[in-house]
């Protein structure tokens, strides 16, 4: 992923794919042109890389020149097109091939055709490396198209976002979901995870997705996924990961304006962590960190026994049950600690201290992401 100005872009078309497309264009055009000496005309600025690489692959003699058109610069393309450098040579009777980096709405092409209307060229053909069929609003024929792409903004290989990105040798596509902070939050029983999750959610405008709550909600409201999950539970079987992921997906989609999510209670296994990565990837996003509150066992036992005295929770009253829950927690998190450490995304945070101290430590991790 790269950032240009305020926007994030993800790898989309590799240098190798571009090279192959350019090679195909060069061969196809050379076959059609035959013995003639064509004049290739690049449209500046964007097509400088296309033209440079294209003519190196063109197997026969040719001429090269440029015209310079300028359109509104930014993510929104082409409204007004200005002619900055026009034709400087007589092209009467010549075979002219326009080399474009990208044809989007076709507005630029419209201007190109206007320029050539009175030029008496022998033929005028249009070649473009990229074309966005969904955006194209004109009916000028495109004779040679390298790669058709969806109607999303791209940068690289000559194409810029507000001046930046032209130098990239590969092409990147804009990320629709801009940068989110997605956390997987862990903490042993008694570590104060719930308290901290509430605080983080407020401070960073994150949505707290507790898998337990999501399950209860879906089952209580008898959603299709809830009924499906229940059918497994009623048989005493584990709910398949895909069902859980589908529920989480629904939660993520309900909260499209969030700055990110705190996942709590999921993932528990490598397979689930993989599934969660895929889910985030499908949203043009990612898990940024696994944060685990670390609290010494003896302190946890004391805390939970204290809590048991007032809460009346049976599982907080018995020391051996408490110790079991803590041991189980560590055996489960160890796998995930390895999983996220391998991606440099594991952060252990000291969970001993006042609530305020711990929130300060957590914020330091998040602010550093």
Distances (CA, A) of 354 to 47, 192, 309, 359, 360: 59, 10, 21, 9, 10
* Pairwise CA distance, residues 158 & 46, whole Å: 5
* Pairwise CA distance, residues 200 & 209, whole Å: 12
Contact region for ligand 5GP (CB under 6 A) — 21-29, 52-60, 113-121, 156-164? 156-164
Of the pair 43, 149, the CB lying nearest Mg ion is at 43
Chain residue whose CB lies nearest Mg ion = 46
* Pairwise CA distance, residues 282 & 224, whole Å: 22
The DSSP call for residue 161 is B
Of the pair 140, 217, the CB lying nearest Mg ion is at 140
Of the pair 127, 209, the CB lying nearest ligand 5GP is at 127
For ligand 5GP, the binding residue among 13, 91, 94, 107 (CB under 6 A) is 107
Residue 105 touches which member of ligand 5GP, Mg ion, none, C-beta under 5-8 Å by kind:
ligand 5GP
- Within 8 A by CB and 6+ apart from 227, the residues are 219
* 303 has catalytic annotation: no
Residue 172 touches which member of ligand 5GP, Mg ion, none, C-beta under 5-8 Å by kind:
none
For ligand 5GP, the binding residue among 53, 91, 108, 290 (CB under 6 A) is 108
Of the pair 102, 304, the CB lying nearest ligand 5GP is at 102
Q: Which of 114, 216, 254, 313 is catalytic?
A: 313
Nearest approach in angstroms of CB 78 to Mg ion is: 9
Q: Which of 268, 323, 337, 345 is catalytic?
A: 268
Residue corresponding to tokens 């792409």: 149
Nearest approach in angstroms of CB 107 to Mg ion is: 10
Q: Tokens for 243?
A: 């069902």
Describe the crossing of helices 319-342 and 297-311 by its angle, rounded to 10 degrees. 130
For ligand 5GP, the binding residue among 46, 188, 192, 267 (CB under 6 A) is 46
Helices (H), 58-123: 107-116
Of the pair 75, 271, the CB lying nearest ligand 5GP is at 75
- Within 8 A by CB and 6+ apart from 369, the residues are 181, 288, 289
* 325 has catalytic annotation: yes
What track of x and - describes contact with ligand 5GP for positions 53 through 82 (by CB under 6 A)?
------------------x-----xx----
Of the pair 73, 315, the CB lying nearest Mg ion is at 73
Tell me: does residue 304 bind ligand 5GP (CB under 6 A). no
* 193 has catalytic annotation: yes
Q: Which of 10, 201, 307, 337 is catalytic?
A: 307
Three-state DSSP state, 110: helix
Nearest approach in angstroms of CB 286 to Mg ion is: 32
Residue 103 touches which member of ligand 5GP, Mg ion, none, C-beta under 5-8 Å by kind:
ligand 5GP
* 114 has catalytic annotation: no
> Alpha-carbon Rg of the chain, whole angstroms?
29
Residue ranges in contact with Mg ion by CB under 5 A: 43, 46
Of the pair 154, 287, the CB lying nearest ligand 5GP is at 154
Residue 136 exposed, middle or buried by CB count within 10 Å (0-12, 13-18, 19+):
middle
Contact region for ligand 5GP (CB under 6 A) — 104-112, 206-214, 239-247, 284-292? 104-112
Distances (CA, A) of 259 to 16, 134, 232: 35, 30, 33
Distances (CA, A) of 145 to 23, 46, 67, 122, 165: 12, 16, 20, 21, 22
Answer for the pair 72, 78: CB distance below 8 angstroms, yes or no: yes
Contact residues for ligand 5GP (CB under 6 A)? Answer: 46, 71, 77-78, 101-109, 153-155, 159-161
- Residue numbers annotated as active site: 193, 268, 307, 313, 325
């Amino acid at each position: 992923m790269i950032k240009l100005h305020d926007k994030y872009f993800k790898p989309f078309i590799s240098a190798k794919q571009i090279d192959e497309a350019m090679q195909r264009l060069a061969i196809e055009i050379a076959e059609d042109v035959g013995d003639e000496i064509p004049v290739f005309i690049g449209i500046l600025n964007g097509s400088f890389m296309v033209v440079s690489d294209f003519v190196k692959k063109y197997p026969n003699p040719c001429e090269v020149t440029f015209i310079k058109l300028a359109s509104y610069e930014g993510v929104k393309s082409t409204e007004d097109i200005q002619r900055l450098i026009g034709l400087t040579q007589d092209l009467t009777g010549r075979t002219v091939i326009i080399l474009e980096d990208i044809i989007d709405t076709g507005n630029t092409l419209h201007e190109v055709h206007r320029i050539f209307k009175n030029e008496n060229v022998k033929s005028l053909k249009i070649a473009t490396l990229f074309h966005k069929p969904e955006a194209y609003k004109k009916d000028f024929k495109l004779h040679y198209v390298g790669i058709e792409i969806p109607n999303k903004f791209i940068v690289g290989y000559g194409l810029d976002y507000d001046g930046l990105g032209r130098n990239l040798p590969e092409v990147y596509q804009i990320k629709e979901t801009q940068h989110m902070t997605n956390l997987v939050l862990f903490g042993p029983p008694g570590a104060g995870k719930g308290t901290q999750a509430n605080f983080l959610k407020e401070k960073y405008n994150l949505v707290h997705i507790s898998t337990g709550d999501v399950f209860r909600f879906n089952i209580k409201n008898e959603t299709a996924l809830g009924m499906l999950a229940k059918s497994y539970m009623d048989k005493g079987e584990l709910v398949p990961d895909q069902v859980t992921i589908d529920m989480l997906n629904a939660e993520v989609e309900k909260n499209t304006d969030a700055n990110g999510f705190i996942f709590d209670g999921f993932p528990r296994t490598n397979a689930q962590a993989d599934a969660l990565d895929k889910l985030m990837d499908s949203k043009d996003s990612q898990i940024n960190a696994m944060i685990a509150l670390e609290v010494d066992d003896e302190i946890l036992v004391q805390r939970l026994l204290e809590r048991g005295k007032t809460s009346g929770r049976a599982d907080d009253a018995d020391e051996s049950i408490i110790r079991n829950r803590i041991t189980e927690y560590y055996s489960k998190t160890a796998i995930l600690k390895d999983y996220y450490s391998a991606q440099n995304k594991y952060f252990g945070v000291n969970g001993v201290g006042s609530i305020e101290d711990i929130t300060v430590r957590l914020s330091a991790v998040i602010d550093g992401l």
